[in-house]
Amino acid sequence: MKLTFLLFLISVGHFGFSQNNDTDKAELYKNYREDQFYASVTYNLLNNKPKDVSQSGFSSGFHFGFIRDMPLNEKRNFAIGLGLGISTNSYNQKSMLIEEVNNDISFSIIDESDLNVSKNKFTTYLVEVPLEIRWRTSTATEYNFWRIYTGFKLGYLVYNSTKFKSEASNENLSNIDTFNKLQYGLTLSAGYGTWNFHVYYGLNSIFDNSAKLNNDTIDMKSLKIGLMFYVL
């Protein structure tokens, strides 16, 4: 009798533990989402460059932010992500001089070899809002997985600067009004675990319609290629 009662207690305890374990696991999966901090390092290219303008050196971009994950299916491996971040982007280029002439911003083509130019670049600083469609092979307990995140990123320009250094002159400008305040493009991040390939394809020009070179509007767009790191 005592043995039967002892076996009954053991079985009830085991059943109760299993129920609690299953309940905890169900709650874990129910609340699972991939909210993530992200950091990205990119090599920045210029598309649609005017004739005689080229890039030189390494043009870098640094991007940081947080994305809120909103799963769309029961497995929670398909989601929408909406975030907020900041970025700084430099563009080293040759032959295009940005200067202030009679209180106006002027763009012109120069021969850098004659001036012994040591630096010619412009830099943008943006607050960004990424919107992503997210697919991954993750679960609530699996942290290394394949992912493909694609979407759209909207950036608001909060500061800009240009730097030109040569033997003949130096020209440093900041917060000039020829940059587009809104900059936006398509994004793609794909990879496994923490390391992911990342690309941003700009859809609108870095400069606004007032930026002209030889009476032609400068329609340069940004292409950023690099690595994206996601941290839980």
pLDDT, tens only, 165-210: 988 888 899 999 999 999 999 999 999 988 899 999 999 999 999 8
pLDDT computed for residue 214 by the predictor:
85
Distance of alpha carbon 36 from the chain centroid: 13
Structural class in CATH, domain 33-231: mainly beta
pLDDT at 12 over 70: no
Mean pLDDT confidence for 101-124 = 87
In this prediction the pTM is 0.84
pLDDT at 46 over 90: yes
User: Do 82 and 43 contact (CB within 8 A), yes or no?
Assistant: no
The 10s digit of each residue's pLDDT in 118-162 is: 899 999 999 999 999 999 998 777 777 899 999 999 999 999 999
pLDDT at 52 over 60: yes
Maximum separation of any 2 CA atoms in the chain, in Å: 105
User: Do 149 and 98 contact (CB within 8 A), yes or no?
Assistant: no
Beta partners for residue 100, in sequence order: 105
User: Do 41 and 60 contact (CB within 8 A), yes or no?
Assistant: yes
Strand 104-109 relative to strand 119-136, pairing: unpaired
Mean pLDDT of the chain: 86
The 10s digit of each residue's pLDDT in 87-103 is: 999 999 988 999 988 88
pLDDT computed for residue 89 by the predictor:
97
User: Do 218 and 212 contact (CB within 8 A), yes or no?
Assistant: yes
Mean pLDDT confidence for 51-68 = 92
Segments in the chain forming alpha helices (H): 2-30, 112-115
Q: How far apart are CA 71 and CA 143, in angstroms?
A: 16
Token digits of residue 27: 């709650």
Mean pLDDT confidence for 4-26 = 46
> Minimal CA–CA distance to 62: which of 84, 38, 89, 32?
89
pLDDT computed for residue 19 by the predictor:
47
Each domain of the chain, given as residue ranges in start order, spans 1-31, 33-231
Amino acid letter, 7: L
pLDDT computed for residue 138 by the predictor:
81
Residue 20, φ and ψ in degrees, nearest 5: -65, -40
Q: How far apart are CA 53 and CA 228, in angstroms?
A: 29
pLDDT at 221 over 90: yes
Residues with Cβ within 8 Å of residue 86, at least 6 apart in sequence: 63, 64, 65, 125, 126, 127, 128
Residue 125 region by backbone torsions, left for phi larger than 0, else alpha for psi between -120 and 50, else beta: beta
pLDDT computed for residue 9 by the predictor:
37
Q: How far apart are CA 24 and CA 220, in angstroms?
A: 53
